Amino acid sequence: MNPPRNSNAARDIAYALHPYTDHKAHLQAGPVVISRGQGVRVYDDQGKEYIESVAGLWCASLGFDNERLVQAAAAQMRKLPFYHSFTAKSHEPLIDLSEMLIERAPVTMSKVFFANSGSEANDSAIKMIWYMNNAIGRPEKKKIIARLKGYHGITLAAASLTGLPANHKLFDLPLPGFHHVGTPHHYHNALPGESEDAFATRLAEELDARIVAEGPETVAAFWAEPIMGAGGVILPPETYFPKIQAVLKKHDVLFVVDEVICGFWRTGNYWGSQTLGIEPDILVCAKALSASYLPISAVMVNERVFQGIAEGSSSIGTWGHGFTYSGHPVPAAVAIETLKIYDEMEIGKHVQRVGAHMQKELRRRFADHPLVGEVRGTGLIAGVELVADKAAKKNFDPAQKVGIRLTKIGEQNGVILRAMTNDSLGFSPPLIITEEEIDEMLNRFGKSLDEITVTVRRESIAAV
Average pLDDT, the chain: 97
Question: How far lies 259's CA from each of 161, 215, 236, in Å?
Answer: 15, 28, 15
Handedness of CA 304, 307, 312, 315 (dihedral sign): negative
pLDDT at residue number 461: 80
Distance separating alpha carbons of residues 249 and 178, to the nearest angstrom: 20
- Given a cut of 90, is residue 241 above it in pLDDT? yes
Taking Cα atoms as reference points, which of 226, 231, 265, 259 lies closest to residue 429? 265
CB distance 224 to 147 below 8 Å: yes
Residue range 2-25, pLDDT digits in tens: 777 779 999 999 999 999 999 999
Distance separating alpha carbons of residues 108 and 105, to the nearest angstrom: 7
CA–chain centroid gap for 189, Å, is 22
**96-101 own/partner pairs: CB under 8 Å, 24+ apart:** 96/332, 96/336, 97/298, 97/327, 97/332, 97/335, 97/336, 97/339, 98/327, 100/336, 100/339, 101/285, 101/298, 101/300
Residue range 202-231, pLDDT digits in tens: 999 999 999 999 999 999 999 999 999 999
pLDDT at residue number 1: 58
pLDDT at residue number 464: 73
Check whether the bond before 174 is cis (ω within 30° of 0).
yes
Q: What is the percentage of the chain residues whose pLDDT exceeds 90?
A: 97
Residue range 416-432, pLDDT digits in tens: 999 999 999 999 999 99
Q: What single string gives the DSSP state of each residue in 171-221? A: TT-SPTTEEEE----HHHHSPTT--HHHHHHHHHHHHHHHHHHH-GGGEEE
Per-residue pLDDT averaged across 156-167, rounded? Answer: 97
pLDDT at residue number 5: 73
Question: How far lies 226's CA from each of 212, 241, 242, 418, in Å?
Answer: 24, 9, 12, 20
- Pseudo-torsion of CA 377, 383, 388, 392, nearest 10°? -20
Distance separating alpha carbons of residues 395 and 181, to the nearest angstrom: 22
CA–chain centroid gap for 434, Å, is 22
Distance separating alpha carbons of residues 98 and 86, to the nearest angstrom: 15
Q: Which CATH class is domain 32-65+346-459?
A: alpha beta
Per-residue pLDDT averaged across 104-119, rounded? Answer: 98
Judge if 32-65+346-459 and 68-344 fold alike in CATH terms: no
CB distance 358 to 352 below 8 Å: no
CB distance 417 to 373 below 8 Å: no
The residues, any chain, with a CB within 8 Å of residue 394's CB and separated by 6 or more, are 387, 388, 463, 464
Taking Cα atoms as reference points, which of 306, 280, 298, 377 lies closest to residue 339? 298
Stated pTM of the model = 0.96
Using DSSP bridges, classify how beta strands 297-301 and 282-285 pair: parallel, antiparallel or unpaired. antiparallel
- Given a cut of 90, is residue 35 above it in pLDDT? yes
52 pLDDT tier (thresholds 50, 70, 90)? very high
- Given a cut of 70, is residue 263 above it in pLDDT? yes
Residue range 355-410, pLDDT digits in tens: 999 999 999 999 999 999 999 999 999 999 999 999 999 999 999 999 999 999 99
- β-strand partners of 385: 374, 424
* H or E element that contains 301: strand 297-301
Tally Cβ neighbours within 10 Å of residue 302: 19
Q: Which CATH class is domain 68-344?
A: alpha beta
Q: Would you kindly state where each structural domain of the chain is located, as residue ranges?
A: 32-65+346-459, 68-344
- Given a cut of 90, is residue 245 above it in pLDDT? yes
Q: Could you give phi then psi for residue 181, rounded to 5 degrees?
A: -115, 180
Residue range 127-140, pLDDT digits in tens: 999 999 999 999 99
Distance separating alpha carbons of residues 298 and 260, to the nearest angstrom: 9
The SS3 call for residue 131 is helix
